[in-house]
Structure 1
Amino acid sequence: MEVTIYHNPSCGTSRNTLALIRNAGVEPTVIEYLKTPPDRATLQALIAKAGLTVREAIREKGTPYAELGLDDPALTDDQLLDAMVVTPILINRPLVVTPWGVRLCRPSELVLDILPLPQQGPFAKEDGEVVIDASGKRAKA
């Protein structure tokens, strides 16, 4: 089973998503996209396969989004993609690729929609929110 996560280990949502993948018994390919950013074509394909617009795939919080003037509605998708490639912290995360699709996993439990494998045990997010109950079922949809 090939699963890839574009991961930022400093992000709690990304860590929770990675943990949910592993809780399904899958060891994914982990790409720390700040160290190894996707090229422009890969990023564009990921965004399209996830069903997102480029604007939906750009991260504003904790990034130089405003300082770079990326909130300008006149900017094209090409200009936004160029900014994301040059400054990968602008890529919203985590993006997960599975045989069942590509998803921006915010919140982290969205990964379950594209990873329909049984969870191997209960799972709670770092903040204590229960995602998988003791019987291995999704606590809330």
Structure 2
Amino acid sequence: MDVTIYHNPACGTSRNTLAMIRNAGIEPTIIEYLKTPPTRGELKDMIEKAGLTVREAIRQKGTPYAELGLDNPALDDGQLLDTMLENPILINRPFVVTPLGARLCRPSEMVLDILPLPQKGAFTKEDGEAVVDDEGRRIV
């Protein structure tokens, strides 16, 4: 299965998501989006396939969201996309794209919606929360 994760290795949610993909026996294409942002078309497509609005795909915490005036409701999707591409830290993470769909994986177990089940075995997140049981079935 062809899987791509837009990943930030400094983010626990992103690390957990990547680990769940690997727990499914899949080695994904990993794009560290802070170093290699998606194109405008790729970003727009991911957001649409995930069923989100552009505004829902913007990360506010730990970003220049407020300083850039992105809370202004008059900004249109094009302006928001342009700002996200100029400041990739504003792209919420992690986005995962598979043949079964695209998801903003917050929380990380959202990735299970677009991966084959059962998983290869149990999975516990970094914080100790069990997500997949010994038989590869989703717990949460």
Give the AA of the match of 1:55.
Answer: R
Cα distance in structure 1, aligned partners of 2:138 and 2:117 = 12
Structure 2 unmatched runs, 5+? none
> How do residues 79-118 of structure 1 correspond to structure 2 at under 5 angstroms?
79-118=79-118
Distance in 2 of aligned mates of 1:131 and 1:66: 34
1:97 aligned counterpart, secondary structure = strand
1:113-124 alignment to 2 at 5 Å? 113-124=113-124
TM normalised by structure 1 equals: 0.97
> Aligned partner of 2:24: which letter?
A
Cα deviation, residue 104, structure 1: 0.5
Aligned-partner Cα distance in 1 for 2:90–2:58: 5
The one-letter code matched in structure 2 to 1:33 is Y
User: Do the aligned residues in 1 keep the contact of 2:94 with 2:105 (CA within 8 Å)?
Assistant: yes
Q: Which runs of 5+ in 1 are unaligned?
A: none
- Provide runs of 4+ in structure 1 moved above 3 Å: none
- 5 Å matches for 1:8-47? 8-47=8-47
The Cα shift of 1:48 comes to 0.8
Residue 77 (structure 1) shift:
0.7
Q: Would you say the 8 A contact 2:117–2:137 is kept in 1?
A: no
Q: Secondary structure at the match of 1:30?
A: strand
State the one-letter code of the partner of 1:6.
Y
Out of 115-124 and 15-24, give the one that drifted further: 115-124
Secondary structure, aligned partner of 1:9: coil
| Aligned-residue offset at 1:39 | 1.1
Aligned residues: 140
Q: Name the SS of the counterpart of 1:62 in structure 2.
A: coil
Q: Distance in 2 between matches of 1:117 and 1:98?
A: 14
Alpha-carbon distance, 1:134 to partner = 1.9
User: Do the aligned partners of 2:123 and 2:133 also contact (CA within 8 Å) in 1?
Assistant: yes
Equivalent residue number for residue 50 of structure 2: 50
| 8 Å contact from structure 2 (residues 118, 135) kept in 1 | no
Q: CA deviation at 1:10?
A: 0.5
User: Normalising by the residue count of structure 2, what TM-score does the alignment of the two structures yield?
Assistant: 0.97
Q: Over aligned residues, Cα RMSD in angstroms?
A: 0.7
Percent identical: 76
